[in-house]
Amino acid sequence: MQSRRAGNMLAAFSFVLWGILPLYYQFLPQANTNELLALRIIFSVPVMLLVMLLLKRPLPTISTLLADKKSLFMCFIAGCIMSVSWYAFTWAITHGEVLAASLGYFINPLFAIALGLFFLSERLSKAQVAAVALAIIGIGYQVWQYGELPWLSLIMGSFFAIYGLTKKYIKYDALTSVTIEAAVLTPFAVIYMIWLYLSGDSVSLTSGATTFLLYVGSAPVTVAPLIFFALALNRTSLTMVGLMQYIEPSLQFLLAVFLFGEVFDQTKAVSFGLIWFGLILCTLEALPSLFHRKKKIALPH
């Protein structure tokens, strides 16, 4: 029980950290998202290696990695997919679109449900069918009112769900996987930064130490919640993690509306409302099984 309680706290803390990330990026308005992504990839590797040393986790050897070439290749794919999701997220929160980021992560579970249906042959419950239908109606309503798709939200939600699906085919442990995902992309990021510097177009390398450190800081501030999340997965249930993941977009939503002053008009209210209602249905459906599992754990053997 102590381990499960610790896992719940770690999971909740990771989602809180993700939820307040927009506060950090307010120091980098209109940031160069390409550079942010490149520096995040480059500096994520030493951060992850340091964390593994502090947690006394064995560092992966070349022979161990090459022994499972499929997982190594899937780490490269996962890294590319995560880069797309993270790029869209970073652009949103550095260009006054935190609400779009919030919507993206609210609809992420619905994309995950759809992927489970098509790729893992999972069956949808009535609540999940209703949630997906409500999300489609909600997004359709936005398209009808605004005349365009909420591309940022759809890219974030879909690519993060695809990232989760990809992780199912990686056999390395969670911390090793995250490290390798960044490591295999690091050469491309380094080449890009060198080219940017030589062409005189770099912002982070030519705007002073403070700006450079803020760009570099995007690595630890985004890796930290991922580490807490990875540690939580071994100590709590996926059901509890699924219920708590709404902490992140909820905090982003509150920051966008009440701190950053983004417009939350009637169209967004209807769209968000439909999606929230669907998520509430899924949550209510999951609660009985969660409590039943807790009761079984509490029974003496």
Confidence band for 130, pLDDT divided at 50, 70 and 90: confident
pLDDT in tens, 77-97: 999 999 999 999 999 998 889
Confidence band for 301, pLDDT divided at 50, 70 and 90: very low
More confident residue, 233 or 130: 130
pLDDT in tens, 32-43: 999 999 999 999
Confidence band for 73, pLDDT divided at 50, 70 and 90: very high
Angle at 133 between CA 127 and CA 137, to 5 degrees: 140
* Lowest mean pLDDT, pick from 56-60, 70-74, 207-211, 296-300: 296-300
Q: Report the pLDDT value the prediction gives residue 291, as an integer from 0 to 100.
A: 52
Total-model pTM = 0.82
One-letter amino acid of 275: I
Segment 167-179 shows an average pLDDT of 86
